Structures are given as structure tokens and as C-alpha cells.
């Protein structure tokens, strides 16, 4: 049986939250947030879920039109905080069941 790493488990949970852009809620791909000016990928724990359109689309996506995306939905760090809040709330809700 294949055992997932903690990073893989985390990214699965992030994807399961759906797209974090506005109230989109479509199924999500995992996007590693920008870590500044370096080309090095951010940590697997610094990820947000974005649907294909908000991730790689042409109208308003983080990769194709980042300024427009940020103006409309917030920065990647703001969306990361939203993901962290939702994951923490989900864990707390499971603990009380």
C-alpha cells in the first residue's frame, strides 16, 4: 500500500477545499504560492487551491494575469491565510464530533 507523505496529505486537503478565488468553489488544483523573486518553488505547505481557470486560465488567473487576479481576489498570502483558517476550522469541527 502506498503511504502518503505529510506534504501529500496536506495538499490533498487543500485541493479538497475547492477554489479559493472569490466564491468560485469549483474543484481545485494545488498552486504553490510565490515566495518572492526567487525561482525556487515554495513549500508544499504553502499552497492554495485554485480551479483550472483561476490557476492557468487567460481571463483572470494567477499565472496569466496576476495583477488582475490579486486586485480581484487578494494576494497569494491572503488566500493562504484563508486556506489555513478553513483547514484549522475543519480539524476543530472533526474533533468535536
pLDDT at 97: 41
pLDDT at 41: 78
Output the pLDDT for position 92. Answer: 64
Element (H, E) at 48: strand 47-50
Question: pLDDT tens-digit profile of 59-85?
Answer: 999 999 999 999 999 999 999 999 999
Instruction: For residue 31, give the nearest of 6, 49, 4 by alpha carbon.
Output: 49
Query: How large is the angle between the packed helices 76-96 and 6-16, nearest 10 degrees?
Result: 100
Which residues of the chain are under the pLDDT cut of 50? Answer: 95-97
Which pLDDT does position 35 carry in this prediction?
A: 77
Handedness of CA 43, 48, 50, 54 (dihedral sign): negative
Q: What is the pLDDT of residue 38?
A: 62
The domains located in the chain, with CATH, are 6-96 (3.30.40.190)
Amino acid at each position: 500500500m502506498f503511504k502518503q507523505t505529510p506534504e501529500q496529505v496536506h495538499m490533498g486537503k487543500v485541493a479538497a477545499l475547492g477554489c479559493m478565488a472569490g466564491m468560485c468553489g469549483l474543484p481545485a488544483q494545488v498552486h504553490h504560492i510565490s515566495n518572492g523573486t526567487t525561482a525556487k518553488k515554495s513549500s508544499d505547505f504553502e499552497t492554495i487551491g485554485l480551479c483550472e481557470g483561476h490557476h492557468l486560465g487567460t481571463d483572470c488567473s494567477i499565472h496569466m494575469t496576476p495583477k488582475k487576479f490579486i486586485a480581484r481576489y487578494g494576494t497569494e498570502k491572503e488566500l493562504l491565510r484563508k486556506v489555513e483558517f478553513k483547514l484549522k476550522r475543519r480539524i476543530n469541527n472533526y474533533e468535536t464530533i
